[in-house]
């Protein structure tokens, strides 16, 4: 059984399991799926300031914090005990295009020459980790939720704002990948 869990699962099976999260949350407690709101709950619990955005009964949403803790614990267990010993299979064309931009290390889930610890205090690290993290956080707040909340929960509830947000996420990802990424690599090379 452990060998089955360690093998990469087909995308369609993983998609079905992620999709089943929506009805499970709705049936178990009429809860909506989303991860970005947990940061707001943490700030509301930890910040003593009377900032209106954080002034609400965060204890009603504590289940979300347990959900995120479960994601973190599950990720740790998966990485430590259930990881596939085979190298990550990356398409040859993707490797060639990234290699042309200067990315050489494909040994992990994320390229270490972009997201490694030794990149933190470099211009490349600043752009990809700090500026990129800020952009993700800003976009999440601006869109009223994260990609998982809109694309999984919102679309399954047939919400038009979630459809618009998901389309914008995808278009932004395509523009970033095909236009901004090569420009950034030329600037920092």
Confidence check: pLDDT of 22 > 90:
no
Residue 78 to residues 38, 50, 73, Cα–Cα distance (Å): 22, 39, 8
Split at pLDDT 50, 70, 90, the class of 103 is confident
DSSP structure class, residue 173: H
| In the chain, % of residues over pLDDT 90 | 13
pLDDT for residue 53 is more than 90: no
Helix 181-188, helix 92-101: angle, nearest 10: 40
- Computed over every residue of the chain, the mean pLDDT equals 85
pLDDT tier, 154 (very low <50, low <70, confident <90, very high otherwise): confident
Q: How far apart are CA 167 and CA 131, in angstroms?
A: 22
Please tell me the predicted confidence (pLDDT) of residue 93: 92
Examine the pLDDT at 49 and tell me if it is beyond 80. Answer: no
pTM score, two decimals?
0.73
In contact, 125 and 11? CB cutoff 8 Å: no
Q: Among all chains, which residue has been given the structure tokens 């699962």?
A: 9
The tokens of 167 are what? 């389309």
For residue range 111-148, list pLDDT tens digits in order: 888 888 888 888 888 888 888 888 888 888 888 888 88
Q: How many CA atoms does the CB half-sphere of 104 hold within 13 Å?
A: 1
Decide: 36 and 140 in contact? Cβ < 8 Å: yes
pLDDT at 104 over 90: no
CB atoms within 10 A of CB 8: 10
Domain residue limits, the chain: 1-86, 90-189
Q: How confident is the model at residue 78 (pLDDT cuts 50, 70, 90)?
A: confident
SS (H, E, C) 62-89: HHHHHHHHHHHHHHHHHHHHCCCCCCCC
Query: So what's the pLDDT on residue 47?
Result: 80
């Amino acid at each position: 059984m452990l060998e089955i869990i360690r093998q990469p699962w087909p995308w369609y099976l993983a998609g079905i399991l992620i999709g089943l999260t929506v009805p499970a949350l709705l049936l178990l407690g009429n809860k909506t799926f989303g991860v970005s709101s947990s940061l707001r709950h943490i700030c509301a619990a930890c910040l003593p300031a009377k900032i209106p955005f954080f002034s609400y009964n965060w204890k009603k949403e504590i289940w979300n914090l347990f959900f995120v803790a479960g994601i973190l614990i599950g990720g740790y267990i998966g990485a430590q005990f259930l990881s596939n010993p085979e190298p990550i299979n990356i398409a040859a064309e993707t490797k060639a295009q990234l290699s042309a931009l200067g990315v050489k290390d494909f040994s992990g889930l994320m390229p270490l020459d972009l997201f490694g610890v030794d990149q933190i205090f470099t211009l490349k690290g600043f752009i990809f980790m700090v500026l990129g993290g800020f952009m993700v956080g800003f976009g999440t707040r601006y869109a009223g939720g994260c990609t998982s909340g809109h694309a999984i929960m919102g679309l399954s509830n047939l919400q038009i704002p979630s459809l618009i947000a998901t389309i914008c996420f995808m278009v932004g990802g395509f523009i970033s990948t095909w236009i901004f990424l090569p420009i950034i690599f030329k600037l920092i090379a």
